[in-house]
Homo-oligomer: A and B are copies of this chain.
Amino acid sequence: MSSEQVKKKSNSKSKSKPKTKPNSNSKSKSKATKQKKKPVAEKGLPLFGEFSEWFNQVLIDAEIIDYRYNLKGCGVWLPYGFKVRQYAFQIIRDLLDSTSVPHGEMLFPLLIPEPQFMKEKETVKGFEDEVYWVKDGGTKPLDIKLALRPTSETAMYPMASIWIRSHQDLPLKTYQIANMFRYEGKNTRPLIRVREITTFKEAHTYHATADECEEQIREAIECYKGFFDALGVPYLVTQRPKWDTFPGANYTIAFDCIFPINHKALQIGTVHNLGQVFAKTFDIKYETVDGTQEYVHQTCYGISERAIAALIASHGDDKGLKIPPRVAPIEAVIVPILFKNKEQIVLDVCNSMFKTLKEAGLKVRLDTRSISPGRKYFHWELRGIPLRIEIGPRDVEKGNICLVRRDTGEKDFVPQNEAVSKITSLLQEIQQSLWDSAKENHQQWILRTNDLEEALEYIDAGNGVADIPFCGSEECAAPIEQRLENLKFLGIPEEYIPALNKSVKVEKDIYCAYCSKLVKQYWRIGRSY
């Protein structure tokens, strides 16, 4: 996280202070002549402090996704962004493929016939303003209109009802990664509120008992934590209020990421315990060991391309992106520093270094374009490549290479024959360090207070989210939510969620911030996207 962000009143529970980190502007520490030239910001990326402008611009400048498509809320993934997306979603694939009973990846049709979509009344109510309807096929109207999936329950569950026959078919764990559509009336926002969600990973599981269903909720939460940890994206886990639960579900647990600068919460993952509601609607039954017929118990959980939005927001700075090595399309870029009459000896070392690193399995690029090194630095810093390898005539002479970290700007000279091991360990360090500093920042943006006015002031000043003692009733929540624009009850924090704790934490002597009833939990509120 860059240093220009405004320091906030820190959470009373805040763990450690941010370490003093080297200035991210590597030039101030540079001794090498070649570094004196200041890279020219060709397109003029807005400062990270102007967060929304920065975010929208960096998506195009760093070639992530381009929303200049002729339809609101629909964008084009560019090759570099596509690869980040691919590496990121491969992580969740690997996690789901390797649970004790593995999740099987499937792919369901996009189109859902109206009667099938309308079968689950709660779902219909939840989505009726957001569904796109296909009404014509060729030049003629269709007999039955077709929904573009806004989520896939109604597409999947009639099939599950065919597949599941006996207790031996359970548990069944499935997922798909596909696009889905929501006709957003409100302002759309790149990667955050879009009409075509190009990337929605939705898992759906089927179980014999309610207990196994609860167990699955915990497995899902662990998978998602593993996923966000790998992306270096900090998160808060909360159980959503009853009035903000997924239509038809018993309860919903959500992951939120607090964005830097504006400190709004973005929902980046949800996990739903569906109980038997859908099983009853779609007749998903199994034969028990005793030969009786029972409805299955279900969960579903989703993650979308918002994960990429959170990845970008959590690590960016004035220069552009910082991509954690695990999802970086290129982990290290080699930039030759060429001087007259010494071009070939430098290029030879660069080529052999490229070969060595590639053979060692590193994602490496050699940049031999005929533009200045400064422009290359700018180009790759903007795209957030974790490590730059500079090789000039003096390095060749000394048998060294120069490594420059994107996250801290630190430089290090290492012997060429130690390149692989040094780079490998440095990439691990960068991965960890990005994660640590994002988490550290995140923890400072949560205020726990018994004073509602203090909480509202804190949120209104854009300082973060706040935990207040709360009774859980919608009647008390509504007037509080009206106090500030976009204020939302995110719900009860992780330590109080019954499904996630053998014994939930119980607070003493605290009273609902609105009705003053004695309560046992803090609830989290904040501005939300």
Please give the residue numbers on chain A whose beta carbons come within 8 Å of chain B beta carbons, in ascending order.
Answer: 66, 68-71, 74-79, 82-83, 86, 104-113, 116, 128-139, 145-146, 148, 155, 158-159, 162, 174, 179, 181, 183, 185, 195-196, 198
The answer on a CB contact under 8 Å between A138 and B134 is no
Which residue from B107, B135, B159 sits with its C-beta under 8 Å from A82?
A: B107
The answer on a CB contact under 8 Å between B138 and A174 is no
Most buried by B among A78, A79, A83, A109: A109
The answer on a CB contact under 8 Å between A198 and B135 is no
- The complex places the Cα of A77 from the Cα of B105 at a distance, in Å, of 8
The answer on a CB contact under 8 Å between A132 and B134 is yes
Most buried by B among A130, A132, A155: A132
The answer on a CB contact under 8 Å between A70 and B106 is no
- The complex places the Cα of A116 from the Cα of B70 at a distance, in Å, of 8
- Besides A78-B104, A110-B179, 20 other A-B contacts (C-beta < 8 A): A69-B108, A69-B109, A71-B146, A74-B109, A74-B111, A76-B109, A76-B159, A82-B105, A83-B105, A111-B181, A111-B196, A128-B139, A130-B138, A132-B134, A132-B146, A133-B134, A133-B135, A133-B136, A134-B134, A135-B135
Main secondary structure of the interface of A (DSSP, over half): mixed
The answer on a CB contact under 8 Å between B183 and A138 is yes
Say whether, besides A71-B146, A159-B66, A76 and B136 are in contact (CB < 8 Å).
no
Say whether, besides A79-B104, A109-B69, A116-B70, A132 and B136 are in contact (CB < 8 Å).
yes
The answer on a CB contact under 8 Å between A138 and B76 is no
Residues of B within 8 A of A135 (CB): 133-136
User: Closest approach, in angstroms, between the C-beta of A91 and any C-beta of chain B?
Assistant: 16
The answer on a CB contact under 8 Å between B174 and A107 is no
Residues of B within 8 A of A136 (CB): 132-133, 135, 145
Q: 14 A-B pairs, CB-CB below 8 angstroms?
A: A69-B109, A69-B155, A77-B107, A82-B104, A82-B105, A109-B198, A111-B132, A129-B138, A132-B136, A132-B137, A132-B146, A133-B134, A133-B136, A134-B135
- The complex places the Cα of A105 from the Cα of B81 at a distance, in Å, of 9
User: Closest approach, in angstroms, between the C-beta of A87 and any C-beta of chain B?
Assistant: 12
Say whether, besides A70-B113, A79-B104, A106-B82, A139 and B129 are in contact (CB < 8 Å).
yes
User: Closest approach, in angstroms, between the C-beta of A53 and any C-beta of chain B?
Assistant: 20
User: Closest approach, in angstroms, between the C-beta of A409 and any C-beta of chain B?
Assistant: 29
The answer on a CB contact under 8 Å between B79 and A196 is no
Residues of B within 8 A of A105 (CB): 79, 82-83, 86
User: Closest approach, in angstroms, between the C-beta of A42 and any C-beta of chain B?
Assistant: 14
Residues of B within 8 A of A109 (CB): 69, 71, 74-76, 196, 198
- The complex places the Cα of A74 from the Cα of B344 at a distance, in Å, of 58
- The complex places the Cα of A111 from the Cα of B73 at a distance, in Å, of 11
Residues of B within 8 A of A138 (CB): 128-131, 183, 185
- The complex places the Cα of A136 from the Cα of B141 at a distance, in Å, of 13
- The complex places the Cα of A14 from the Cα of B69 at a distance, in Å, of 52
User: Closest approach, in angstroms, between the C-beta of A401 and any C-beta of chain B?
Assistant: 26
Residues of B within 8 A of A134 (CB): 132-135, 148
Nearest B residue to A75 via CB reads B109
Nearest B residue to A178 via CB reads B179
Nearest B residue to A116 via CB reads B70
- The complex places the Cα of A135 from the Cα of B181 at a distance, in Å, of 14
- The complex places the Cα of A131 from the Cα of B135 at a distance, in Å, of 11
- The complex places the Cα of A74 from the Cα of B112 at a distance, in Å, of 10
The answer on a CB contact under 8 Å between A111 and B77 is no
Residues of B within 8 A of A113 (CB): 70-71
Nearest B residue to A138 via CB reads B129
Residues of B within 8 A of A196 (CB): 109-111
7 A-B pairs with the lowest CB-CB distances in the bound complex, closest first: A79-B104, A137-B183, A74-B109, A77-B107, A133-B136, A129-B138, A135-B135
The answer on a CB contact under 8 Å between A70 and B132 is no
The answer on a CB contact under 8 Å between A76 and B106 is yes
User: Closest approach, in angstroms, between the C-beta of A173 and any C-beta of chain B?
Assistant: 10
- The complex places the Cα of A116 from the Cα of B83 at a distance, in Å, of 28
The answer on a CB contact under 8 Å between B162 and A68 is yes
Residues of B within 8 A of A70 (CB): 113, 116, 158
Residues of B within 8 A of A148 (CB): 134
Say whether, besides A68-B162, A129-B138, A159-B68, A107 and B183 are in contact (CB < 8 Å).
no
- The complex places the Cα of A162 from the Cα of B133 at a distance, in Å, of 30
- The complex places the Cα of A208 from the Cα of B5 at a distance, in Å, of 46
Nearest B residue to A86 via CB reads B105
- The complex places the Cα of A162 from the Cα of B75 at a distance, in Å, of 14
Most buried by B among A111, A137, A146, A155: A137
Nearest B residue to A155 via CB reads B69
Residues of B within 8 A of A159 (CB): 66, 68-69, 76
Residues of B within 8 A of A133 (CB): 134-137
Residues of B within 8 A of A181 (CB): 110-111
User: Closest approach, in angstroms, between the C-beta of A149 and any C-beta of chain B?
Assistant: 11
